[in-house]
Each structure stands twice: as structure tokens, then as C-alpha cells.
Amino acid sequence: LASERRRQRHAGTEEEIKTLARRQMGEQGTASLSLRTIAREMGVTPPALYRYFASRDDLITALILDAYDDLADTMEATRDAAPAETDLVARLFAACMEYRAWALVHPVDYQLIFGNPIPGYSAPSEATQPAARRTLSVFVGMTAEALQRGALALPAAYEVLPGELEERLGGILAGEGYEIPAGALAYVLAVWARMQGLITLELFGHLQPILGDPDVFYRFEIASVLQRADGHPADA
């Protein structure tokens, strides 16, 4: 069908625009995104881009949603790639490694999600929020499974939460249909925040002057937070 060819060409050009946009952001920072520059690089006049995106903001929104989706896809793939009889803690550990690896390979996407907002632009939260939950869900699910099967021991500190926190997290869990205690969710958030802190610091160059290559430290930290039920840290 000829119209199918046309549609694919359209999608291809759309992808090309996004790729150039990402490259531009990678070189100049996420706040630097110029439609005219993209058009120039494509050998096309600026108004041509409006066939593909209604405005600069729409392009940014597309990039952000892509980033969320790509991260979630990657994490789900990592989860599903593990063979059925895998050590569940090892699988969790691998997911944490993959999380950082993704951030290092896709620094622009990572910044679009977790970095400074772009001046004059504000993301439509009704679109980004479900996309954001997907990634967190992978970690919650894997942690829940590891805890239920007894592979992972919930650290003592997370067994009893402050009442206010317990309530709040319990509400979230009920809404999402997870069958884990609130303490476990707190634990997942704690792991997530650790990864986030280390990755953000690394990405913006704050760890390198102290640590050289932050890789060893990251592995060490994740291993230490993922204690096995037998008391041994996860593989590092």
C-alpha cells in the first residue's frame, strides 16, 4: 500500500527530528533546543518541521515521554530477561546496575526525566505520571517477589515505620494492588533514592574528583543495600 509507505516515511522523519533534538541537547544542555538548528541540520526550512510537531513544546513533550518509556522498557526487559530459576536478589541487583547503565548511555533522557525543568516549558503531568510509575513498578514488583520467596530480608529499620508514613504508603499500595507491607515500599523508595543520588552526582561530575570512576562505589552501595536473607550482600 502506498499510503503505508508515506506513513512510514513520516514516522522516519519524525524520528530523525527527535534524534537531532536529543543530540543537540546532549551537546548544549537540555535547555538548548532550537527548531531552526534542527531544520538546518536536516537541510530543510524551519516551517517544514511543523508538519511533524505542532510546536517546540510538543517536540519536548514527545522527547520526555520517549525517555520515560525507554527507561521503563529497559527495566522491564531486564526483569524479563532473567531465567526463571534466577536468584531473585541477583536479579534485583542486575536491575539496579541496568538503571545506572541506562542513565550513563542516555544522559539526555535521564536529565529530561530527573533534571532541571526546561525554561518556559512545563511537562503535562497527566501524561508523565503513568509513564513514571511503570519504572518504579518494576522495582516494587521484583522486591515484593524477593521478599515473599524469602530471598531478601527486609532490613530491620523498615519493619516499623512512623505512623504517618505507614498510612500514606499503605494507601498507595492498596491503590496499586501490591501485596507487600508498607515498609517494603519504603525500602524500595530508599533503594531508588540511593541510585538516584549516586547517578545524579556522577552525571554532573561531583563524584569523579573524589572517587575517580564511581562504578566500584555504585556496585558496593547497591550490594550493601540489597542484603540477602542469609545475611550476605548481593553479588558485587
47 sits near DNA (criterion: CB under 7 A):
yes
CA dihedral 19, 24, 26, 31 (to 10 degrees): -120
User: Distances in Å between the alpha carbon of 174 and those of 134, 158, 162, 170, 177?
Assistant: 17, 18, 18, 6, 5
Q: Which of 31, 44, 136, 211 binds DNA (CB under 7 A)?
A: 44
29 sits near a copy of itself (criterion: CB under 8 A):
yes
Residues 110 and 113: their CA atoms lie apart, in Å, by 5
Count of beta carbons in the 10 Å neighbourhood of residue 98: 17
Residue 137 contacts which entry, a copy of itself, DNA, none (Cβ below 5-8 A, type-dependent): none
149 sits near DNA (criterion: CB under 7 A):
no
Count of beta carbons in the 10 Å neighbourhood of residue 4: 8
Looking at beta carbons only, is 31 or 190 nearer to DNA? 31
Looking at beta carbons only, is 37 or 128 nearer to DNA? 37
Task: Restricting to residues 148-167, name those near a copy of itself by CB under 8 A.
Answer: 155, 157-158, 161-162, 164-165
User: Among residues 208, 20, 196, 24, which one has the least CA distance to residue 110?
Assistant: 196
Q: Phi and psi at residue 161, in whole multiples of 5°? A: -100, 155
Q: Which residues of the chain form contacts with a copy of itself (CB under 8 A)?
A: 28-32, 111, 114-120, 129, 132, 136, 155, 157-158, 161-162, 164-165, 168-169, 172, 186, 189-190, 192-198, 200-201, 204, 206-207, 209-212, 216-217, 219-221, 224, 233, 236
